[in-house]
Amino acid sequence: MTKVIVLIQSQYILSFLLGSLLLFVKVGGDPRTHTIQIKCGHQHEHNTTIFVPNFVATMENISGQMRTSGFGMAVTGSGPDINYGLAQCYGDLSLLDCVLCYAEARTLLPQCYPYNGGRIYLDGCFMRSENYSFFGEYKGPEDRALCGNATKKNSNFQESARQAVMHAVLTAPNNGGYARVQVKVAGTSNESAYVLADCWKTLNSSSCEACLENASASILGCLPSSEGRALNTGCFMRYSDKTFLNKQPGKASSRGIIIVVVVSVVSSLVVLAVGIVVGAHIWKQRYIQKKRRGSNDAEKLAKTLNDSSLNFKYSTLEKATASFSEANKLGQGGFGTVHKGVLPDGREIAVKRLFFNNRHRAANFYNEVNIISTVEHKNLVRLLGCSCSGPESLLVYEFLPNQSLDRFIFDSIRGKTLNWEKRYEIIVGTVEGLVYLHEQSKIRIIHRDIKASNILLDSRLRAKIADFGLARSFQEDKSHISTAIAGTLGYMAPEYLAHGQLTEKADVYSFGVLLLEIVTGRQNNRSKTSDYTDSLLTITWKHFQAGTVEELCDKNLILQDYHNGNVKNEVMRVVHIGLLCTQEIPSLRPTMSKVLQMLTKEEPLPAPTNPPFIDEKTMELHENCRDPGCPMNSGALASIANMSDSSFYPR
């Protein structure tokens, strides 16, 4: 099935990662992570399974460069799925502020998927990704100016702004592509026009000059407004009446920094300098307070980490995984990779690295840490801690050597490892984990993404439920949650898919699908072919009605255990329970505690009613119809674009 990169809908959106918040306080500068514009390409990716790893590898390559020089460029792959990437911080940012700005840009650019290119301008940095070499481009049809504050400035300011812009255009090409200019406004004691100009380092001086000339022509069209930005293919320019520039020369590049002060009237340079320092200090304090007021969730997470000793140093995890080497990679999916690591005390760990992200990364990271740190059960993957003070967010889990269930049941060779006794034990273990989440933990938790790739196996092949990034908790007085749809196509209950109504019965439905997959060795998701076949649910229902369920059984079970009469009866009973769990009407589905009772006690089972028969052609139409004007978008199924389909350890 075509892999889909998820933009998970979340009700808890943080404007910064916790790591960004903590580093910001330490740095004392302004990383200027405000997004000015995201511009996506027009061509869809060619092959998702190639495009995603190439994009991820490019971003990883650039990350290392950004931490040392404030600039990075990389190329990964070949052919139509090749990925070219470039990122650059503006010259007045320190390296630490640069890392923060780049981290924000990196979480946002994946929003352009499924298009294979895009660019993002932040007030402190720029980032671009394409499937062709754009490194020498300095102009394009999408170059434009964005005018800011509508405050109208007088003629003296306008003249000072023009002087500052022109000086930047003249200076930057011969100064490594960078200039910062301050021009004092005539007739005032403390007002200035501030200008920043930056060309991408891939441009030569003549291309940089041409880019800035185009940028200046468009940006001056913003006057008499007090703010203007030029977003050009090869450069960025900004003017303002505010002191947006960082006070100290940045270390994000080796280029010199020029500050020009043009005094049109007699004034004291000392008074001006003091005024700038004091004004910048006041602005900085207001900025920090504003961020703190909007970061309550981040502060809660910080307190949780400190109180529970969950925090790991980024450097410790980087060393444990050999700098996240390819040799230690356990798997990869839509949200990142997982690497095996060994701590200094010899403990083996699995590090979930959230580097391929979207604008909701912080919310999902907080959600997973917050939920999984409050639960503990033998059939839930144990969270050892996390790191959120480095350039990327990391989750640290116990290491489970056999990885995930899907690697066994959907593989004809590895499937031989799981006889019926092992499969039955995995089924019961998964049920016990879900009973705990639904009924026995302090808060009622709905997992929302129960599937084979999220069931991990320890050294004795015992089941542990993983991936709480999509989990939701709710109060006792609520019968259901109406929420944005998120999950994996093929495992979601019809009432949740159609109406967004989320109860424990959604997990029951997903578990029912998983039961049938364990018995049959077939995945419920349709494959990417031109022909549409019945889903696993439909096929199983038809065989159940005809009394021929044994024809569906995994051949590994037939070869190993099916001659045993007791095994045959247990398999038939499990299929029956799977159909009870996947009934179309939610109220008819059993609770997970009832499922556990059905599995462990001999008792008669009620006759199942039919599962939902989903028209996959209709679903495909909705999946591809994302334009607001599309007639199919009026239905709830339009939100199918939010589905995930990832399989790695753990996602």
The phi, psi pair for 543, rounded to 5°, reads -70, -35
- DSSP string of 457-474? E-TT--EEE---TT-EEE
Letter string b/e over residues 158-168, b meaning 16 or more CB atoms within 10 A of that residue's CB: bbbbbbbbbbb
Dist CA 1 CA 523 (whole Å): 10
Dist CA 17 CA 366 (whole Å): 9
Question: Residue 508 in contact with residue 437, Cβ under 8 Å?
Answer: no
Dist CA 427 CA 519 (whole Å): 10
Dist CA 572 CA 608 (whole Å): 13
Letter string b/e over residues 216-238, b meaning 16 or more CB atoms within 10 A of that residue's CB: bebbbebbebbbbbbbbbbbbbb
- For the record, the structure tokens of 75 come out as 């190329």
Give residue for tokens 């798997």: 331
Residue 332: Cβ within 10 Å count: 20
Burial of 180 per CB tally in 10 Å (0-12, 13-18, 19+): buried
Question: Residue 164 in contact with residue 241, Cβ under 8 Å?
Answer: no
Question: Residue 94 in contact with residue 88, Cβ under 8 Å?
Answer: no
Rounding to the nearest 10 degrees, give the CA dihedral for residues 16, 123, 151, 247. Answer: 100
Amino acid at 509: Y
Question: Residue 453 in contact with residue 410, Cβ under 8 Å?
Answer: no
Burial of 353 per CB tally in 10 Å (0-12, 13-18, 19+): buried
Beta bridge partners of 465: 380, 455
Dist CA 108 CA 127 (whole Å): 10
Dist CA 32 CA 276 (whole Å): 18
Active-site entry in 92, 406, 449, 561: 449
Dist CA 557 CA 565 (whole Å): 13
Question: Residue 446 in contact with residue 474, Cβ under 8 Å?
Answer: yes
Dist CA 153 CA 165 (whole Å): 16
Give residue for tokens 């390559």: 61
Residue 74: which residues within 8 A CB-CB, separation 6 or more?
57, 58, 61, 62, 65, 84, 85
30 labelled catalytic: no
Q: Where are the beta strands (DSSP E) in 356-465?
A: 383-387, 394-398, 444-446, 455-457, 463-465
What proportions of the chain, in percent to the nearest 5, are helix, strand and coil?
40, 20, 40
**Catalytic center residues:** 449
